[in-house]
Amino acid sequence: MAALSDFHFDEDGWVRSTCLHREGLLVLLWEVLQEFGHTEPPQYYGRVSSEGAISGWEARLRVPARLGLFQSDPWEVHTEGAEILSVWDRAAAMAITQFCEQEPIFASYSASTVGFPVRVTSEYSRQRFSLLLDSTLPGHVPALARIARYAAGMLGVCDQFRSENTLYRQGLRTAHTTTQEQTQQILGQSQQLTEQSQQVVWLAQQFSEQEQRIVEQAQQISEQSQQLEEQSQQLAEQIQQLAEQAQQIEELTEQVDDQEALTDHLQDAL
């Protein structure tokens, strides 16, 4: 039996084990099955499964056929989760529930409790569980006692989960409120950034227009400077022409003076 408790890997990627080395629900299931004539422990299978970007474990639990006087066919339960060991624990709990629903002794016990009132006192509950767990009473069923212990333990676990769930919900509400406030702050900041971006774009557009005006004015000034330079050159040429004309006039004046002097000299000679 120890060899069966080891982990084995199938060709299809399934991890297989009897989980007899573990405790809790897995051992309880095997003990209950033994009480009802099962000679082979249940087999636990698991393999990695992925859906999109999320990966987890797909698990199935197979209970072998029961041989002997009260025979039964093999049956399975299927589940999935994040971790293989927790998934196998869940499969064992599902198998215990299914087995209790199928076995006549558990079904008859459930039917016998239907007539009791819904609201029972804690004293009545303790007495009823005491009768189930008392091995000295006639007709004591060890498997039923184990299931009762399991149910009582599960009730305690449920109470713990209920309190943890309350704290978890309070944490979720606080986180949700904080997230809403942060979202509103982010939206407000985003709106401010959008307005500032629009202002920056408007200023950049104005700067671009002013720069374009400055370039145009600089071009106009350059053209005007070129025109002034051309006009200055023309004025210089005109001044030079006037100077040449003045020199010519001066030469002509000298010639006229010489002619007048010659004329006066000739008149004196005559």
Domain regions of the chain by residue span? 3-111
Q: Write out pLDDT tens, residues 238-247.
A: 999 998 998 9
Under the banding of pLDDT at 50, 70 and 90, the label for residue 156 is low
* b/e 4-38 (16+ beta carbons within 10 angstroms → b): eeeeeeeeeebbbbbbeebeebbbbbbebbebeeb
Instruction: Examine the pLDDT at 207 and tell me if it is beyond 80.
Output: yes
* Sheet hosting strand 43-51, strand order edge to edge: 8-9, 15-17, 43-51, 54-63, 75-81
| Torsional class of 68: left (φ above 0), alpha (ψ -120 to 50), beta (otherwise) | left
Q: E strands within the chain?
A: 8-9, 15-17, 43-51, 54-63, 75-81
Residue linked to tokens 């209790």: 100
Q: What is the mean pLDDT of residues 90-104?
A: 80
* pLDDT above 60: residue 221: yes
CB 74 within 8 A of CB 62: yes
b/e per residue, 91-130, with b = 16+ CB within 10 A? bbbbbbeebbeebeebeebeeeeeeeeeeeeeeeeeeeee
pLDDT of 118 higher than 50 = no
pLDDT tens by residue, 22-56: 777 888 889 888 888 889 999 999 998 877 667 78
pTM score:
0.47
Q: How many whole angstroms separate alpha carbon 141 and alpha carbon 137?
A: 10
Mean pLDDT of the chain: 78
Q: Give yes or no for residue 102 having a pLDDT over 80.
A: no
Residue 76: pLDDT over 90: yes
What is the predicted pLDDT for the residue at 121?
46
